[in-house]
Amino acid sequence: QKEVEQNSGPLSVPEGAIASLNCTYSDRGSQSFFWYRQYSGKSPELIMFIYSNGDKEDGRFTAQLNKASQYVSLLIRDSQPSDSATYLCAVLAGGTSYGKLTFGQGTILTVHP
Protein backbone atom coordinates (compact mmCIF):
# COMPACT_ATOMS: atom_id res chain seq x y z
CA GLN A 1 0.00 0.00 0.00
CA LYS A 2 1.34 3.43 -0.92
CA GLU A 3 1.82 5.83 1.98
CA VAL A 4 -0.16 8.60 0.28
CA GLU A 5 -2.69 7.77 -2.41
CA GLN A 6 -4.53 9.98 -4.83
CA ASN A 7 -6.73 9.23 -7.79
CA SER A 8 -4.49 10.21 -10.72
CA GLY A 9 -7.46 11.30 -12.80
CA PRO A 10 -7.76 13.14 -15.02
CA LEU A 11 -10.66 14.87 -13.30
CA SER A 12 -12.63 17.04 -15.68
CA VAL A 13 -15.13 19.64 -14.46
CA PRO A 14 -16.96 22.49 -16.22
CA GLU A 15 -16.10 26.08 -15.44
CA GLY A 16 -17.95 27.31 -12.36
CA ALA A 17 -18.41 23.84 -10.87
CA ILE A 18 -16.92 22.44 -7.66
CA ALA A 19 -13.86 20.25 -8.09
CA SER A 20 -13.31 17.65 -5.38
CA LEU A 21 -9.85 16.12 -4.94
CA ASN A 22 -9.22 13.29 -2.52
CA CYS A 23 -6.25 11.81 -0.71
CA THR A 24 -5.77 8.94 1.74
CA TYR A 25 -2.73 8.23 3.89
CA SER A 26 -1.49 5.20 5.80
CA ASP A 27 0.44 6.65 8.77
CA ARG A 28 -2.00 7.32 11.63
CA GLY A 29 0.63 9.46 13.34
CA SER A 30 0.76 11.98 10.50
CA GLN A 31 0.43 15.50 11.80
CA SER A 32 0.16 17.93 8.90
CA PHE A 33 -1.34 17.75 5.44
CA PHE A 34 -0.66 19.89 2.41
CA TRP A 35 -2.11 20.58 -0.99
CA TYR A 36 0.23 21.79 -3.72
CA ARG A 37 -0.69 22.92 -7.22
CA GLN A 38 1.73 22.19 -10.04
CA TYR A 39 1.42 23.59 -13.54
CA SER A 40 3.03 21.61 -16.34
CA GLY A 41 6.81 22.05 -16.31
CA LYS A 42 6.76 24.16 -13.15
CA SER A 43 7.54 23.52 -9.51
CA PRO A 44 4.79 22.88 -6.93
CA GLU A 45 3.26 25.82 -5.10
CA LEU A 46 1.56 25.51 -1.74
CA ILE A 47 -2.19 26.13 -1.78
CA MET A 48 -3.21 25.10 1.72
CA PHE A 49 -2.16 23.15 4.77
CA ILE A 50 -4.31 21.68 7.52
CA TYR A 51 -3.51 19.88 10.76
CA SER A 52 -6.79 19.83 12.70
CA ASN A 53 -9.84 17.74 11.97
CA GLY A 54 -12.54 19.61 10.12
CA ASP A 55 -12.57 22.21 7.38
CA LYS A 56 -10.23 25.06 6.57
CA GLU A 57 -11.27 27.65 4.02
CA ASP A 58 -9.16 30.08 2.02
CA GLY A 59 -10.98 31.92 -0.73
CA ARG A 60 -12.28 29.41 -3.25
CA PHE A 61 -10.36 26.56 -1.63
CA THR A 62 -11.48 24.36 1.27
CA ALA A 63 -9.35 21.63 2.80
CA GLN A 64 -11.08 18.92 4.79
CA LEU A 65 -9.35 16.54 7.20
CA ASN A 66 -10.70 13.40 8.83
CA LYS A 67 -7.94 11.74 10.84
CA ALA A 68 -10.13 8.84 11.95
CA SER A 69 -10.68 7.89 8.31
CA GLN A 70 -7.14 8.95 7.31
CA TYR A 71 -8.60 11.10 4.59
CA VAL A 72 -7.93 14.63 3.37
CA SER A 73 -9.65 16.43 0.55
CA LEU A 74 -9.51 19.71 -1.35
CA LEU A 75 -12.59 21.42 -2.73
CA ILE A 76 -12.26 24.13 -5.35
CA ARG A 77 -15.39 26.24 -5.72
CA ASP A 78 -16.24 28.21 -8.87
CA SER A 79 -13.54 26.34 -10.80
CA GLN A 80 -11.72 28.35 -13.46
CA PRO A 81 -9.71 27.18 -16.49
CA SER A 82 -6.65 28.62 -14.72
CA ASP A 83 -7.16 25.97 -12.01
CA SER A 84 -6.24 23.28 -14.55
CA ALA A 85 -3.11 21.69 -13.11
CA THR A 86 -1.85 18.69 -11.18
CA TYR A 87 -2.73 18.76 -7.47
CA LEU A 88 -0.35 17.03 -5.10
CA CYS A 89 -1.31 15.86 -1.64
CA ALA A 90 1.57 15.71 0.86
CA VAL A 91 1.77 14.39 4.39
CA LEU A 92 4.20 15.21 7.20
CA ALA A 93 4.89 12.20 9.41
CA GLY A 94 4.30 12.46 13.13
CA GLY A 95 7.08 13.61 15.46
CA THR A 96 9.17 15.26 12.75
CA SER A 97 9.13 19.03 12.81
CA TYR A 98 11.85 19.28 10.17
CA GLY A 99 10.25 16.46 8.44
CA LYS A 100 10.18 14.75 5.21
CA LEU A 101 7.02 15.28 3.27
CA THR A 102 5.61 12.22 1.52
CA PHE A 103 3.75 13.05 -1.67
CA GLY A 104 0.95 11.32 -3.52
CA GLN A 105 1.23 10.80 -7.26
CA GLY A 106 -1.00 13.79 -7.97
CA THR A 107 -4.42 14.31 -9.54
CA ILE A 108 -4.68 16.00 -12.91
CA LEU A 109 -7.54 18.51 -12.95
CA THR A 110 -8.94 19.94 -16.17
CA VAL A 111 -11.49 22.77 -16.02
CA HIS A 112 -13.20 23.22 -19.38
CA PRO A 113 -15.04 26.40 -20.44
Partner 1 sequence: DGGITQSPKYLFRKEGQNVTLSCEQNLNHDAMYWYRQDPGQGLRLIYYSQIVNDFQKGDIAEGYSVSREKKESFPLTVTSAQKNPTAFYLCASSIPGTALYGYTFGSGTRLTVV
* Minimal distance, residue 25 CB to partner 1, in Å: 13
Residues in contact with partner 1 by the rule CB under 8 A:
4, 6, 8, 31-32, 34, 36, 41-46, 49, 51, 88, 90, 92, 96-106
Residue number, 4 or 111, with CB nearest to partner 1: 4
Residue number, 40 or 113, with CB nearest to partner 1: 40
Residue number, 34 or 109, with CB nearest to partner 1: 34
Q: Taking the mean position of all CA atoms in its chain, how far away is CA 29?
A: 18
**What DSSP string describes 48-102?**
EEE-SSEEEEETTEEEEEETTTTEEEEEESS--GGG-EEEEEEEEPTT-SS--EE
Q: Taking the mean position of all CA atoms in its chain, how far away is CA 93?
A: 16
* Minimal distance, residue 75 CB to partner 1, in Å: 19
* 107: Cα within 13 Å, side-chain hemisphere: 26
Residue number, 32 or 73, with CB nearest to partner 1: 32
